Chain A
Amino acid sequence: MNALSVLDGFRDADLAKRLKARIDRLGEVIGRDILIMHVCGSHEWTITHHGVRSLLPERVEVRAGPGCPVCVTPAADIDAAVDLALEGKTILTYGDMSRAKGSKQSLAEAKTLGGDVRIVYSVHDAVKIARSRPDGEFVFFAVGFETTAPATAYEILQQPPSNLRFLTSYRYVPSAVEAVSRSPDLRVDAFINAGHASTITGMKAYKPCFDECRKPMVFSGFEPLDVLISVAMILTQIRDREPKMENEYTRSVTWEGNVKAQETMMKAFDLREGYWRGVAMIPNSALDLKPEFSHLDARVHYGLSKSGESAEFVKNARCADVIIGKIDPPECPLYMKECTPASPLGPTMVSSEGTCKIWADHRIVSAMRCRI
């Protein structure tokens, strides 16, 4: 058996048409505007790439919320990484992260100024590089959500080489969903929760948030039919006035999640208040290194201050509103004018999970369903 052939079923055109018919009927019965928010860059890619929005009824909207780790990494953290690179340390990080600007530059620009910046595919590559060059001084700029943090925790617990330190900006999605659900200006009716972040935490991590907001929450996979099924599930809940936590991505998400990964993650990190770039300080939303690993913490070793709110985006840019899901990219005055994938001005136009970048890469499809 081949896993990939099973997944082909989630791209079946006939099933998609029938799901669309059901969604249309549910939309008619509900008879009001429905705003569904997802919180994952990979969901935005699936939805935009496959034109899922064009299949939804006029009054049912699916919008991207804060689901792009690179986009929410504070400018102050990028600035700190740039400064370290320019001081002669070797910065190791993921490709997308190297192109996002802080308040001044990106790491890619620091490289053109002589800084040593290297792209890695995984934290294990960072460990291997540091180990192979004992004379060098390395900093792994560790960004991502709880999907990525367990791997870094694993390497930290394996005693990485002493010439490698970690500048962490890990963020925890359940706390962001809670913050969005409480926001009075967003009026979100339901959530499509992130399939891979929830694979780690399990559905249980969202229970307190669900109990408080009582909004439909569907944990969804990443094939186009996964999203259509999730929308159908949400609309059924709304029609029946029975909000639930429901699992569409049963092949990967469970109620308990990956307990082994959770335990590994929480051996290395503590949940603390964290700043989401352009959004807000959110309680329990940053995975910070535990005090016993302070010898590996680049902030401690190099005396960097804890990232706070700072000047975040260029003038007139509406990156913050795109990140939080208040607007779609074309509502930003700079979108595809001053700010393009070739010369991005904000992180949402840089990262492959940034909403602006995804919309720009799919301009024809995304224009089919734009609210302005």
Chain B
Amino acid sequence: MCLAFPGRVVSIDGDFARVDFGEGTAREGINVSLVDVRLGQYVLVHAGYAIQVMDEKEAQKTLSYWREILAYEEESELPSR
């Protein structure tokens, strides 16, 4: 029920947008009135409504942060303080 998918906003007309979910799937009529979104940004879409503007950079940051932490720990092999 709380399933939501990220997609890129490719056009906006008032409260509605066309969203490209990749791999050939795009949908018209996604309601974007609950978010402040600009053309080209990524939104998280739940049951026909965008519920958040997604921050791609944050996704990258999460991954690189964990790669760094793990590399450091693997080197020093310290699970405890």
Contacts and interface: CB of A to CB of B under 8 A. Distances in A.
A3 B7 contact: yes
A258 B81 contact: no
Contact of B2 (A21, A148, A250): A148
Contacts of A133: none
Interface of A: 1-4, 6-7, 9-10, 12, 15, 18-19, 21-22, 25-26, 28-29, 40-42, 67-70, 94, 96, 121-125, 143-145, 147-148, 150-151, 154, 194, 196-197, 199-200, 225, 229, 239-240, 248, 250-252, 258, 260-261, 264, 351, 353
B54 A154 contact: no
Interface in B25-70: 29, 31, 33-36, 42, 44, 46-49, 51-52, 54-56, 58-63, 66-67, 70
Contact of A144 (B1, B62, B80): B1
Given A25-B79, A41-B2, A144-B47, 5 more contacts: A15-B66, A29-B79, A151-B31, A154-B33, A248-B62
B4 A196 contact: yes
B23 interface: yes
B13 interface: no
Chain B interface size range: 35 or more
B75 interface: no
A7 B55 CA distance: 12
B70 A252 contact: no
Interface in B10-27: 21-23
B79 A28 contact: yes
A148 B4 CA distance: 10
Contacts of A28: 79
Nearest to B34: A261
Nearest to A9: B63
Nearest to B67: A15
Contacts of B4: 147, 196, 199
Contacts of A19: 66, 70
Given A250-B61, A251-B54, A96 B47 contact: no
A154 B63 contact: no
A12 B60 CA distance: 13
A239 B51 contact: no
Nearest to B44: A252
Given A4-B6, A28-B79, A252-B55, A260 B1 contact: no
A6 B1 contact: no
B34 A258 contact: yes
A70 B48 contact: no
B1 A251 contact: no
23 contacts: A9-B59, A18-B70, A26-B79, A28-B79, A29-B80, A41-B1, A122-B31, A122-B47, A124-B29, A124-B31, A124-B48, A145-B1, A150-B51, A151-B34, A154-B49, A196-B2, A196-B44, A200-B51, A250-B58, A251-B58, A258-B35, A260-B36, A261-B34
A122 B66 CA distance: 37
A260 B51 CA distance: 10
Given A41-B1, A147-B1, A251 B81 contact: no
Nearest to B47: A122
Contacts of A150: 34, 49, 51
Given A18-B70, A29-B80, A6 B56 contact: yes
Contacts of A260: 34-36
A254 to B, nearest CB: 9
B61 A144 contact: no
A260 B59 CA distance: 23
The 10 closest A-B pairs by CB, nearest first: A122-B48, A25-B79, A251-B58, A151-B49, A250-B58, A147-B2, A196-B2, A251-B59, A4-B22, A3-B6
